[in-house]
Each structure stands twice: as C-alpha cells, then as structure tokens.
Chain A
Amino acid sequence: MKNYIQLNLSLLYWILIAPFTGQFFKIAPIFRQMVFIGVRAAPMVALTAFSVGVTLAMQAAHSLESLGAEMYIPDLVMITLLREMGPVLIAVIVIGRSGSAVAAELGTMKVSEEIEALQVMAINPVQFLVVPRFLAMMVMLPALTIFGNYIGILGGWAVCTFALDFNTAGYVLRALESADTWDLYSGMIKSVVFAWIIITIACNAGLTVEGGAEGVGQATTASVVQALLAMLVMNAVLTGIFFFAA
C-alpha cells in the first residue's frame, strides 16, 4: 500500500509539476503505448460490446413484451450500456488484456535488473516507464468505452430490427430520446477513474515484483484480481454518487 501511494504521488509529480520545470514527457512512447493498450484491444472490445448489446435487447424484449412496453427496449439498452455495462465490461477486458500485460512487462524488467539499470543511468523509472503507460491508458480506456458503447447500441439495433418489429429510424429516435448527455458523461467519468485504477495497480504490481519468473506470474495474477475488485467497488461508489445520492 505504501508503494502504491508513493507511485501515485510520484506519478502526479511527473505529470503535473515536472512539465513546468522543463521536463516535458516524450510523445512517441505515449503513442506506442496507446497502440498497445488501446488499438490492439479494440477487436475484443467490439466483440464483447456487441454481445452485451444483443443480450440486453433480448432480455429487455422478454421482460417488456409481457408488459406491452416493447417500445422502451432501446431506452433500456442505451441507458444500461452508457451508465454501467459499457464502462465496466470494457474495463474488464482492458484489465485482462492490457493491465496484465503491463504488470508482466514491468515485472520482467524488474527481475532482469532492467529497472535497476535505468536508475543507475539516472533515469527515473516512473518518468520513463509509468508516465507513458498512464497517459495512454487515460486516453484509450475512455476512447474504447465510447467505441464499445457504439458497438453495443449496434447490437441492440440488430435484435430490434431483425427479430422485433422496429425499423432503424424508430430505434435510433427512441434511443436518442431516452438517453441524455449525463448518461454518457457519467460513464466517461467512470472510465477515466477506472483507467487510473487499472494502470496504477498494474504498474505498481510490476515494479514491486520480487523473486524471479514465479514472482512475475504471481504479481500479474494479483494485479488482475486487485484491479477487478477495486474497479467494481469504485463502480458501485460512483453509481451511488451519480444516480442514488443526488
């Protein structure tokens, strides 16, 4: 825990203070990480989001038809996706794919003395390794979430037009009418917070590995479990703040 807090403080220093002392972060490594963390995760995100959109629409059809309220199917798909399923499920994918990869990569660097070598070359590992990954994650997880929301809505549309008697215009109009911008923004705020949680837990797990290859394996698993738990608890807290307490 002490390490984790230290990592966060040092990260804040490198992002908020260091650029004003002339140590601006390099752009190329951030883009490399954006491709790795974000772009390569896009196919998996698309598949997940599409399945979730389809599932939501089918469940909604099942429950709402019995009430004679089929017209609200797009509302349900839209709001559930934007507020909850989109940010949470895409974070789950990114934890499993990118968070674990970051933990394993940094952990391997730790046990093969690469981190120590950086320090001895007077290169700060947080500045050199954590900052680009952090910034990439902070940009890419919200971006993936928007992308995933879109694909999920497409999944809902597929069910509504092909299996139910909606037409495309009807679906789109209903969906747009039901959701307001706050539904989108609240999901975006969640995904920014999740991005922070995922990448700091992954980097911390990697940088504090001890005990060779076995240690790397354990740290990677631990980082996935911790990130999942922290993300889900934080989701409940944020939903409470956004939609329950207000």
Chain B
Amino acid sequence: MSTNGETIIEVEHLVRKFGDRAVLDGISFNVHRGETLVIMGGSGCGKSTLLRHMIGSMKPTSGSVKLFGEEITAMKEREVERVRLRFGMLFQSGALLASLTVGENVALPLLQHTAKSPEEIEQIVKQKLEMVGLTGFEDLTPDEISGGMKKRVGLARALALDPELLFSDEPTSGLDPIMTAVVDELTLKLTHGSHMTAVVVSHDMTSAFRIATRMIMLGHGSIVAEGTPDEMQNSPNPEVQQFIHGRPDGPIPLNLSQEEHKDHQQVRPRPFLGGRFRFHHKRS
C-alpha cells in the first residue's frame, strides 16, 4: 500500500506529438509495487495514449519509460515481449479476438506461453471467468456478448498469466454498479493479497476512489494534480474539484480543443453557455 516499495514503473519527461499537437507534453511519475495508480482526465486528454506508451506499443517522441527497471522505449520487439509476459493489459475496447470464443480468448496467453495441459488450462479459464462474474460463458463468441461483458472477458484474459502488473483502460465503463463493485473488489483483492501493481484509467469517480492508492489527473498534456485519494478530494485546484464532482461549470473547457473550433466554426457554443470563458487562462 505504501510508496516505499520497489519502483515498478518510471515515466520521465514523456512527450508524444501527433503532427504538431503534443498530446503528452512532458509527463513524469513513478509507480511502486503494490500500488494502484488511477489516471483520470477528460475524454481525449491522452490517457489511453499514455497507457500505450507504458506497454511499449507506441514509441514516444522523447522521454523515457522504464518497466521493472528496464527502459522499454529503446527495446527491440523481441526484448519487449519478454517484459510483456510480466504484465497484463485490458484495452478500452476489450480487444477480444473476434474469431475465437470467450474461453479461447482467455486461454490464449496460457496456450502460447505455458506448457500446461488442456485440462489445467480449462480449469484456469473457468476460474478467471468466475472471478469476473462470467461463469458458463466460455462458448459464446465476442459478438454474442455485451460491451460490459467484453470488458470483463478482457480483464480475465489480462489476468490469465497472473501478472505482477496490470494495466486497465476504463475497466468499469459500461458496467452496472454491482459489476463495477465486483471488478473493484477484484482489483483490491489482487493488489492487497497478491501484491499486484495496477495502473487503472478511470472516469468513474466512485470506482476510482474505491481502488486508488494514488491518483493523477491529466489535462492539456501534463499532470494537473497528483496525490492520494484524500489529497485529491481536498485539492484546492478547481480543475480537480470540477472533475471529481462532475460539474459542467469550471476551468476545464467544455468542448473540443481550440484547433477543432477553427475547423468547425458552426459548432462554437454561444457565449452565454457555460462559464468556460471565466477561467480561460492556463494555470501551471
């Protein structure tokens, strides 16, 4: 729980540009063993992009990402694979293989990376699906299940190899409150019991405050605020307050980014809508 454990992830001065636009603009933070780091921030602020850099599937424009003490941005594909065996990832879309059944999806990492017998694998698949509340869904295909179920299958697959580090991109979006609680319980159980480390992107504030040991909030390419859930709750930063209480009025611009306004003059909101002009300057 505490931050004195070994450092698992070190992100330093991470910059990622798409064209001229810096989506990530100098991000630095560390994650220690056993922590659950929640990354929050408005839609499109670069949370998924940040995760993609941490799993080595995107290369940064500049900056460094170290997993388990190893720099992954400079690694060859073959070396990255070795590191990837140590963590699991749940994609925002679930990213299940459409040509395989639910059970085969969860079994895939086991089949590829372990020498377990088919019976053992079947057993593990059952157990992982049970953990996410999907007992008996093995034989359905991904297009026969709902969005929230896909998420949970994705989580079961990410956990198939019992990773020591889990990345999840909005694990609870699309889930009902009870399932959200089940998934949160699962994350808590794994981080407390098995000392798993988790990095979770979440929009869902109830869930975020339930599981986080530390939180960071992204905005305009950098970290707006960072701290324990208590510190965030009591943060004097109006952007944080606006975000965690979900208020439409505040310093966070309501709509699309500035450039997109230039492209779409006709969707510019009428001036009396929202207080977004009141705090337009950027704090740093």
Q: Which residues of A contact B (CB under 8 A)?
A: 105, 108-109, 112-114, 116-124, 128
**Given contact pairs A109-B98, A112-B98, A114-B98, A119 touches B93 in the complex (Cβ within 8 A):** no
Q: CA–CA, A122 to B57, complex, Å? A: 11
Q: Which of B217-234 contact A (CB under 8 A)?
A: none
Most central of A108, A118, A120, A128 by chain B CB within 10 Å = A120
- Shortest CB-to-CB span from A114 to chain B, Å, is 5
B68-96 vs A: 1/0 string, CB under 8 Å?
Answer: 00000000010001101100010101011
**Given contact pairs A109-B97, A112-B98, A114-B97, A120 touches B108 in the complex (Cβ within 8 A):** no
Contact between chains at B109 and A121 (CB < 8 Å): yes
8 Å CB contact of B91 from A116, A122, A123, A128: A116
**Given contact pairs A121-B84, A122-B85, A116 touches B95 in the complex (Cβ within 8 A):** yes
- Shortest CB-to-CB span from A131 to chain B, Å, is 13
- Shortest CB-to-CB span from B114 to chain A, Å, is 12
B77 contacts which chain A residues (CB < 8 A)?
119, 124
Contact between chains at B55 and A120 (CB < 8 Å): yes
Which residue of chain A has the shortest Cβ distance to B48 in the bound complex?
A: A113
A108 contacts which chain B residues (CB < 8 A)?
98
Q: CA–CA, A108 to B96, complex, Å? A: 12
Contact between chains at B98 and A121 (CB < 8 Å): no
Residue B265 at the chain A interface, CB threshold 8 Å: no
Show 24 A/B contacts (Cβ-Cβ < 8 Å), sorted by A: A109-B97, A112-B93, A113-B91, A113-B93, A113-B95, A114-B96, A114-B97, A114-B98, A117-B89, A117-B91, A117-B95, A118-B97, A119-B77, A120-B84, A120-B89, A121-B109, A122-B81, A122-B82, A122-B84, A122-B109, A122-B112, A123-B112, A124-B77, A128-B112
How many residues of B are in contact with the other chain, CB < 8 A? Answer: 20
B95 contacts which chain A residues (CB < 8 A)?
112-114, 116-117
Residue B113 at the chain A interface, CB threshold 8 Å: yes
Identify the 3 closest CB pairs spanning chains A and B, nearest first.
Answer: A117-B95, A113-B95, A122-B81
A113 contacts which chain B residues (CB < 8 A)?
91, 93, 95
Which residue of chain B has the shortest Cβ distance to A10 in the bound complex?
A: B77
- Shortest CB-to-CB span from B49 to chain A, Å, is 13
Contact between chains at B57 and A120 (CB < 8 Å): yes
A119 contacts which chain B residues (CB < 8 A)?
57, 77, 84
B93 contacts which chain A residues (CB < 8 A)?
112-113
Q: CA–CA, A109 to B57, complex, Å? A: 16
B98-140 vs A: 1/0 string, CB under 8 Å?
Answer: 1100000000110011000000000000000000000000000
Which residue of chain B has the shortest Cβ distance to A119 in the bound complex?
A: B57
Q: CA–CA, A183 to B149, complex, Å? A: 57
Q: CA–CA, A5 to B140, complex, Å? A: 38
- Shortest CB-to-CB span from B73 to chain A, Å, is 15
Which residue of chain A has the shortest Cβ distance to B109 in the bound complex?
A: A121
Which residue of chain B has the shortest Cβ distance to A105 in the bound complex?
A: B99
- Shortest CB-to-CB span from B87 to chain A, Å, is 8
B91 contacts which chain A residues (CB < 8 A)?
113, 116-117
- Shortest CB-to-CB span from A146 to chain B, Å, is 29
Q: CA–CA, A142 to B93, complex, Å? A: 40
Known contacts A112-B93, A128-B112; 9 additional CB pairs below 8 A are A108-B98, A117-B91, A117-B97, A118-B97, A121-B108, A121-B157, A123-B109, A123-B112, A124-B77
- Shortest CB-to-CB span from A136 to chain B, Å, is 15
- Shortest CB-to-CB span from B206 to chain A, Å, is 27
A123 contacts which chain B residues (CB < 8 A)?
108-109, 112
A124 contacts which chain B residues (CB < 8 A)?
77, 81
B82 contacts which chain A residues (CB < 8 A)?
122
Which residue of chain B has the shortest Cβ distance to A120 in the bound complex?
A: B89
B98 contacts which chain A residues (CB < 8 A)?
108-109, 112, 114
Q: CA–CA, A124 to B82, complex, Å? A: 12
Most central of B91, B93, B95, B157 by chain A CB within 10 Å = B95
- Shortest CB-to-CB span from B18 to chain A, Å, is 13
